[in-house]
């Protein structure tokens, strides 16, 4: 028996023949949703509201939602399966957002030695200028740029949510999906390859004919690259976590059904290894650190945070499992950087605490940059001790914290299995930072800072000798330098030398697409970069413990 699922506020519907997971039904309506904790029923952030229809509360709903919320139709999206007519509202904070960049023209400062412009047959040239497409295959979002191959100029950009999110929110849950299902690898491959086809179609048609496009260059992490190429991703989820290849892959674009010139090529940036993929190789290329005279550090912030130390003298990389706290999971009022997320926090000299929100909407949660800002500011103001301990109001008063700020420190009774009292700092009317949130941030920043410390130690480089720190990742564009240094996430070198580079992987893909010398550099980076494994590293536990306290350090 077929039934209809309707989504609000778009008012789009899909008809299903049998029981369907909410996320799949939403995806069929081109509505993309998040599962920050990977559907482990740990975070409670994927909530949706069932306006009409039959959706009995699950045990996870009972655990993570209040009685009033459940009565009002709220359910955890990751647990919701529908088998009859229903209308569901997907709130903004449960939706995926995609934003990527491909850099400016300055990356081709010393002219261009074409990679593909001359090779893909006269047909392209006869039809006009030759173009290529640079693709950033992120695990959450995809982005593509149409690039003129003679100038490197970006003629158009498009992006969309990586449709693989319907099979799992993060890389690990997609590998899990591929392990569980015989056709798992095939589904992951087909979905991403078709999404890239759609993006190519978006970018061509009017001004640029599809036959003028002679190459597609893709940068992605090891799992994304394996899936896009059509390789088995399951070995990447089990120790020793090795994939089936790391080298640059070049194929005929028609193998993937991509609508470009019939002789066009598809190129996938090479990888250092399973933890350091083509996206990081692209980012290294974009920063130019592989040619720098002095040592530089690249930190690509995310659920897995890659750390690369490099100069013309060598490249050393590691990967740290930072977890999804920056995306809002495990943080009581945590959320993505969507409208209404507190993304800036300042404590003024008057003791007043002021917040800024995304799109200046009323505050309804705390995103990664707001979390870092809040902890850094409250640490400086004396509310949070160096150990990460959140002082009580009386202790704040005794420690000389401004009386106006002390008023914001409150305590509420803890639930079963929780602390006896939950201590909080009120950031806005409905948004608080809890003592436990500070601990979650300490775990994340401890694992990243420990990775940085061990890579520096491995290469015999002192933190104060760093000439530059590049912070990549979408999240990296919004956070304040003073705060990332203030909590000790990155070494406290001169803030002038800390740069936010955004999604540098796309820039790298574009460079490889346009310039043969860059392509050669990418190969050399992948071949020469050394990888430092942290799991089982004898110094890791001490480095992690040393990196958990707050405060600036070099």
Partner 1 sequence: MTDLAELAQHLIDGHDADVARLTRDALDEGRAPAAILEQGLIAGMQVVGERFRDNIIFVPEVLVAARAMKAGLAHLEPVLAACGIEPIGTYVIGTVKGDIHDIGKNLVGMMLKGAGFRVIDLGVNTPLAKFQAAIEEHRPDIVGMSALLTTTMGQMKVNIESFRAAGLFDRLRVMVGGAAVSEDYAESIGAHAYGADAPSSVAKARSLLAELKAARA
Interface residues with partner 1 (CB under 8 A)? Answer: 38, 40-42, 59-60, 63, 172-173, 175-176, 179, 234, 237-239, 321, 323, 387-390, 417-421, 423, 435-436, 438-439, 442-443, 446, 535-536, 540-541, 544-546, 548-549
Residue with tokens 């190519």: 200
Please calculate the CA angle 64-368-479 and round it to the nearest 5 degrees: 170
DSSP single-letter state for residue 391: P
Of 84 and 179, CB closest to partner 1: 179
Q: Closest separation between CB of residue 176 and partner 1, Å?
A: 5
Of 77 and 323, CB closest to partner 1: 323
Of 201 and 394, CB closest to partner 1: 394
Of 66 and 179, CB closest to partner 1: 179
On the 0-12 / 13-18 / 19+ scale of CB atoms within 10 A, 309 is: buried
Q: Closest separation between CB of residue 170 and partner 1, Å?
A: 9
Of 290 and 437, CB closest to partner 1: 437
Of 460 and 536, CB closest to partner 1: 536
On the 0-12 / 13-18 / 19+ scale of CB atoms within 10 A, 112 is: middle
* Residue 535, φ and ψ in degrees, nearest 5: -65, 125
With beta carbons less than 8 A apart as the criterion, state whether 217 and 267 touch.
Answer: yes
**Buried-state track 457-483, b at ≥16 Cβ within 10 A, e below 16:** eebebebeebebbbbbbbbbbbbbbbb
Of 127 and 548, CB closest to partner 1: 548
Q: Which residues pair with 299 in a beta bridge?
A: 307, 471
With a CB cutoff of 8 Å and minimum separation 6, the contacts of 9 are 89
For 89, the enclosing helix (H) or strand (E) is strand 86-89
Distance CA 65, CA 179 (A): 31
Of 119 and 548, CB closest to partner 1: 548
Q: Closest separation between CB of residue 543 and partner 1, Å?
A: 11
3-class DSSP state for residue 408? coil
Distance CA 13, CA 25 (A): 9
With beta carbons less than 8 A apart as the criterion, state whether 361 and 340 touch.
Answer: yes
Q: Closest separation between CB of residue 76 and partner 1, Å?
A: 11
Of 38 and 508, CB closest to partner 1: 38
Q: Which residues pair with 136 in a beta bridge?
A: 143, 219
With beta carbons less than 8 A apart as the criterion, state whether 221 and 162 touch.
Answer: no
């Amino acid at each position: 028996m077929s039934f209809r699922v309707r989504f609000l506020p778009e008012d789009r519907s899909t008809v299903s023949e049998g029981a369907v997971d909410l996320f799949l039904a939403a995806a069929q309506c081109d509505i993309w949703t998040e599962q920050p904790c990977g559907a482990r029923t740990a975070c409670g952030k994927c909530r949706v509201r069932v306006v009409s229809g039959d959706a009995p509360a699950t045990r996870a709903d009972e655990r993570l939602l209040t009685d009033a919320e459940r009565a009002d139709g709220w359910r955890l999206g990751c647990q919701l399966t529908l088998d009859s007519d229903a209308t569901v509202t997907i709130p903004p904070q449960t939706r995926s957002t995609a934003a990527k960049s491909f850099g400016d023209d300055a990356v081709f400062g010393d002219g261009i030695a074409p990679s593909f412009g001359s090779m893909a047959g006269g047909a392209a040239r006869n039809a006009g200028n030759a173009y290529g497409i640079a693709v950033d295959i992120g695990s959450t979002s995809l982005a593509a740029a149409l690039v003129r191959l003679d100038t490197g100029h970006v003629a158009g950009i498009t992006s969309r949510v990586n449709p693989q999110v319907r099979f799992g929110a993060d890389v690990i849950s997609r590998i899990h999906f591929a392990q569980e299902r015989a056709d798992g690898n095939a589904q992951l491959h087909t979905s991403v390859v078709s999404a890239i086809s759609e993006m190519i179609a978006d970018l061509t048609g009017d001004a640029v004919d599809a036959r003028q496009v002679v190459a597609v260059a893709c940068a992605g992490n090891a799992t994304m690259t394996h899936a896009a190429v059509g390789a088995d991703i399951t070995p990447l989820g089990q120790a020793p976590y090795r994939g089936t290849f790391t080298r640059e892959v070049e194929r005929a674009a028609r193998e993937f059904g991509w609508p470009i010139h019939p002789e066009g090529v598809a190129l996938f940036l090479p990888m250092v290894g399973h933890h350091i993929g083509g996206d990081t190789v692209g980012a290294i290329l974009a920063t130019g650190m592989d040619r720098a005279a002095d040592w530089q550090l690249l930190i690509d912030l995310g659920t897995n945070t890659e750390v690369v130390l490099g100069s013309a003298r060598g490249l050393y990389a590691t990967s740290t499992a930072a977890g999804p706290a920056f995306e809002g999971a495990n943080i009581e009022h945590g959320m993505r950087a969507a409208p209404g997320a507190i993304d800036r926090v300042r404590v003024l000299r008057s003791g007043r605490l002021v917040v800024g929100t995304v799109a200046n909407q009323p505050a309804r949660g705390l995103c990664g940059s707001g979390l870092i800002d809040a902890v850094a500011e409250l640490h400086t103001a004396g509310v949070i001790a160096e150990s990460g301990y959140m002082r009580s109001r009386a202790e704040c008063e005794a420690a000389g914290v401004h009386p106006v700020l002390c008023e914001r420190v409150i305590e509420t009774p803890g639930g079963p299995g929780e602390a006896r009292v939950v201590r909080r700092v009120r950031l806005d009317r409905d948004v608080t930072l809890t003592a436990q949130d500070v601990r979650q941030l300490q775990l994340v920043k401890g694992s990243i800072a420990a990775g940085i410390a061990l890579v520096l130690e491995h290469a015999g480089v002192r933190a104060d000798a760093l000439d530059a720190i590049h912070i990549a990742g979408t999240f990296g564009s919004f956070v304040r330098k003073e705060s990332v240094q203030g909590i000790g996430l990155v070494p406290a070198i001169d803030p002038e030398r800390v740069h936010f580079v955004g999604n540098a992987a796309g820039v790298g893909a574009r460079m490889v697409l346009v310039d043969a010398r860059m392509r050669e550099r990418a190969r050399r980076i992948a071949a020469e970069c050394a990888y430092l494994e942290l799991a089982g590293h004898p110094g890791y536990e001490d480095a992690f413990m040393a990196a958990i306290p707050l405060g600036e350090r070099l």
